[in-house]
Amino acid sequence: MQNQIDKIEHKDLEKFTPVGKFFHMVGMFLMHRMAGQQVVLFFRAIASIFSESRNFKSDTKNVIMQTFFTGVEIFPILFIVATLFGSVVIVEVMTLMGKVGFSDVVGSLMVVVIIRELGPILTAFLIAGRSGSSLTTYIGTMVIDSEVDALATMGVDPIRYLVMPGLIGGTIATFIMTIIFSSSAICAGYLVIKILTIISGNVLNLQLTWNYLTTEILNAMTITDFIFIVIKPIVFGCIITTNACYQAMNIPRDIRQVPKATGRSVIKSFFYIVCADVILSMFYFLDYFNEISKII
């Protein structure tokens, strides 16, 4: 991709007006940065869906396989993490809020911690660490073995054949797994707490019922929460898969670079996910201030 960027000659600036030159220079600046090149790769993958050479049957099969690989195969570990995470959050929220007399904000805290913030982030981290790294290794090995060049030689667009299914399938799986993670954290976490309460004789003195828990959570949720339940996983899924494919497509022709590219893929995905979450969470800041003012 970098070679294609270098082919753009700066003498073309003469064709632009001052405003055009400004946007051209901004575009050139972004194109020479990794983040800008990943944005370009993302849009090229989306554009390949509408390519005249597309094969709907083959593309659908590849997307389904990627969705299965990203979502179904990660389900066991994701379910275990969600259950343990939900159990800890329920115990902490119920005990701490009860002690300080803020039992009426239990639902709000559950929504903020599980559904709004840590649920989507932990799901994205698990997918980036498992599926994102595997995608980088898979495509990176193909690049080193010249299989990607062979696809291009045969007239097959590598971006449509490799990147697009990973992007679409990975994003769909991230969305589904985020919903499952939050649901498992609440439902399975509740069951674990009830079992432990029965076994221990309710040592923690938790007055917890399913009707109380679900009612508090549903009452605390807003329209914005339902919107971001959809938006956050989609954004995180696009970030993970685009970054994984970018790291793989730009890997040096050395087999020793595969684990390095895989490590970069995971670390950068973590960083991008946190940055994206901070940006998206800005829409909640006003709600946070309102909730704090109510408590105070």
48 within a domain of the structure (yes/no) = no
Domains in the chain, number: 1
Higher pLDDT, 87 or 11: 87
18 within a domain of the structure (yes/no) = no
Task: Write the pLDDT tens digit of every residue in 73-101.
Answer: 888 899 999 999 988 888 888 777 655 55
Confidence of residue 104 (pLDDT cuts 50, 70, 90): low
261 within a domain of the structure (yes/no) = yes
2 within a domain of the structure (yes/no) = no
* 296 pLDDT above the threshold of 90: no
Q: What is the pLDDT of residue 293?
A: 56
Q: Report the C-alpha dihedral over residues 115, 118, 124, 125, rounded to 10 degrees.
A: -160
Q: What is the pLDDT of residue 234?
A: 94
Q: Which domain holds residue 67?
A: 55-295
75 within a domain of the structure (yes/no) = yes
Task: Write the pLDDT tens digit of every residue in 157-175.
Answer: 888 888 888 899 999 999 9
CA angle 231, 237, 242 (to 5 degrees): 130
CB atoms within 10 A of CB 47: 12
Q: What is the pLDDT of residue 239?
A: 93
38 within a domain of the structure (yes/no) = no
- pTM for the full model? 0.82
* 128 pLDDT above the threshold of 50: yes
22 within a domain of the structure (yes/no) = no
Nearest to 268 by CA among 124, 91, 85, 106: 124
Average pLDDT score over residue span 39-66 = 80
Q: What is the pLDDT of residue 280?
A: 87
Average per-residue pLDDT for the chain: 80
139 within a domain of the structure (yes/no) = yes
